[in-house]
Amino acid sequence: GAVVSQHPSWVICKSGTSVKIECRSLDFQATTMFWYRQFPKQSLMLMATSNEGSKATYEQGVEKDKFLINHASLTLSTLTVTSAHPEDSSFYICSARGTVGTEAFFGQGTRLTVV
């Protein structure tokens, strides 16, 4: 399958700081990238859908000013968690898709711990 690289794989930050997570498609052009959050022993929760060059579409209940998503190129999307708080601690995973209707491939995920 296609390769999606997510960085960093884990991060610990202080409450109130911002954290940026990168998601790159290494061997294909990702017209769409998805960002998910997963709490322990819970299911994937879609946060937003991002198409290259457009504003991200956020799911209900996800604050767009807190979770800033940028998808400026066909191979890179970033998620910035602004003013992180302990309740933002979670596993954040991106996935990327080349063509509408096809499968998406996941990055390795980022485990965020806010202390």
Partner 1 sequence: RKEVEQDPGPFNVPEGATVAFNCTYSNSASQSFFWYRQDCRKEPKLLMSVYSSGNEDGRFTAQLNRASQYISLLIRDSKLSDSATYLCAVNVYSGYSTLTFGKGTMLLVSP
Say how many residues touch partner 1, by CB under 8 A. Answer: 26
Q: What is the C-alpha to C-alpha distance for residues 70 and 52, in angstroms, rounded to an integer?
A: 9
Kindly state the tokens that stand for 52. 């290259």
Nearest to 112 by CA among 74, 48, 67, 50: 67
Query: Per-residue x/- marks for partner 1, 24-63, CB under 8 A?
Result: --------x-x-x-----xxx-x--x-x-----x------
Instruction: Select from 79, 93, 112, 114 the one that contacts partner 1 (CB under 8 A).
Output: 93
Of residues 100, 110, 115, the one with CA closest to residue 24: 110
Per CB under 8 A, 102 contacts partner 1? yes
φ and ψ at 60, to 5 degrees? Answer: -60, 135
Q: How far is the CB of 16 from partner 1 (least distance, A)?
A: 27
Q: Is the CB of 18 or the CB of 102 nearer to partner 1?
A: 102
